[in-house]
């Protein structure tokens, strides 16, 4: 029997917009329901961003708390992974590049993880990328990452190290060598972001080769690369991720009507390749997670 593969589902993100797809969950209730539907379809982990009622990305603790409370009150078992990505974007002004233009979201590192401290999920993301993205620059300095990593560790949460290119892995490895992160680490390799690592088998094999021995890892591709990279990650022994954060299409020209339908396709592909899908309990065992923590007051 093959080792079980963990499917993560990233249900909404902060880039995908309601104008792109009417199926994007926005309210805390919609996001929580999308997470539970994804778990019923075969996902073990749900990766969560939150939104304002009009669909704009949010960092409000109240929004995170409602989603997490709904998930913890549900009958389904689920491993919760909260994002810490928001708060790292800088848009230079056109006339004075040193002055932030509207749309800049840069925040102190403590602010970017306060929901993790308050809600203590089992996993949270920790993005190691500094890169050009759309009209903005994503900035994650070693200093800020160190502060966030310390707070995440103190909260007893496993950081999922999101890496978008080989240099990000070098930085994460440096943190591991210094003991600022614990082993075995959990890496999430991101492929297909413009100006990041391209979504090819060769790129994924190279990035996997840079990971420390004994690490847990997963990979995913954005857009049309979602399912080809899912298969490639499985072939290389990794875990996988799907969801409307990364891709809004079930197949060319056909919008995915839910996160669950993307998970179902992932389950089918993995099983047809000879794989077995991990339950939330198996995901905890594989990653060495503690059972879901009590709800915060």
Q: What is the pLDDT of residues 234-258, one digit of tens each?
A: 999 999 999 999 999 999 999 999 9
Instruction: Specify if 163 maps to a domain.
Output: yes
Tens digit of pLDDT for each residue in 41-89?
Answer: 999 999 999 999 999 999 999 999 999 999 999 999 999 999 999 999 9
User: Is 107 among the domain residues?
Assistant: yes
pLDDT for the residue 135: 83
The verdict on residue 187 lying in a domain is: yes
Please state whether beta strands 254-255 and 249-251 pair in parallel, antiparallel, or not at all (unpaired): antiparallel
State residue 127's pLDDT score. 98
Task: Evaluate whether residue 297 is within a structural domain.
Answer: no
Q: Is residue 155 part of a domain?
A: yes
- For residue 195, being part of any structural domain is answered with yes
Gap between the Cα atoms of 15 and 55, Å rounded: 10
Tell me the average pLDDT across 107-130: 97
Which domain does 163 fall in, by range?
4-287
Per-residue pLDDT of 204-227, as tens digits, reads 999 999 999 999 999 999 999 999
CB 143 within 8 A of CB 182: no
Q: How many domains does the chain fold into?
A: 1
Which helix (H) or strand (E) is 125 found in, with range? strand 123-127
CATH number reported for the structural domain that contains residue 204 in this entry: 3.20.20.70
What 3-state class would DSSP assign to 255? strand
pLDDT single digits (tens) 170-201: 999 999 999 999 999 999 999 999 999 999 99
Q: How confident is the model at residue 264 (pLDDT cuts 50, 70, 90)?
A: very high
The count of other CB atoms within 10 Å of the CB of residue 263 is 26
**What DSSP string describes 236-266?**
TT-EEEESTTT--EEETTEE-S-HHHHHHHH
Quick one: which of 170, 158, 196 has its CA closest to 81?
A: 158
Predicted confidence at residue 291, as pLDDT, reads: 63
* Average pLDDT score, the chain: 95
């Amino acid at each position: 029997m093959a080792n079980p593969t963990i499917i993560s589902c990233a249900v909404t993100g902060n880039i995908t917009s309601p104008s792109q797809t009417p199926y994007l969950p926005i309210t805390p209730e919609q996001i929580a329901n999308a997470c539970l539907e994804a778990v019923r379809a075969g996902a073990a982990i749900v990766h969560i961003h939150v939104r304002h009622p009009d669909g704009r990305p949010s960092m409000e603790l109240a929004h995170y708390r409602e989603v997490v409370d709904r998930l913890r009150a549900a009958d389904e078992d689920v491993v919760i992974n909260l994002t810490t990505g928001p708060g790292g974007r800088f848009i230079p002004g056109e006339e004075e590049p040193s002055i932030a233009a509207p749309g800049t979201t840069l925040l102190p590192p403590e602010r970017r993880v306060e929901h993790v401290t308050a809600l203590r999920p089992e996993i949270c993301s920790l993005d190691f990328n500094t890169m050009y993205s759309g009209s903005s620059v994503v900035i994650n300095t070693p200093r800020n990452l160190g502060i966030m990593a310390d707070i995440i560790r103190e909260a007893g949460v496993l950081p999922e190290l999101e890496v978008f290119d080989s240099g990000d892995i070098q930085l994460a490895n440096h943190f591991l060598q210094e003991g600022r992160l614990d082993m075995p680490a959990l890496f999430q390799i991101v492929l297909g972001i413009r100006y990041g690592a391209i979504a090819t088998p060769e790129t994924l094999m190279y990035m996997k080769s840079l990971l420390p021995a004994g690490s847990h890892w997963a990979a995913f591709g954005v857009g049309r690369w979602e399912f080809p990279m899912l298969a490639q990650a499985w072939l290389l022994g990794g875990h996988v991720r799907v969801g409307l954060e990364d891709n809004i299409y079930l197949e060319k020209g056909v919008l995915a009507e839910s996160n669950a339908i993307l998970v179902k396709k992932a389950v089918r592909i993995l099983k047809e390749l000879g794989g077995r899908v991990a339950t939330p309990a198996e995901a905890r065992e594989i990653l060495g997670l503690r059972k879901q923590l009590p709800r915060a007051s």
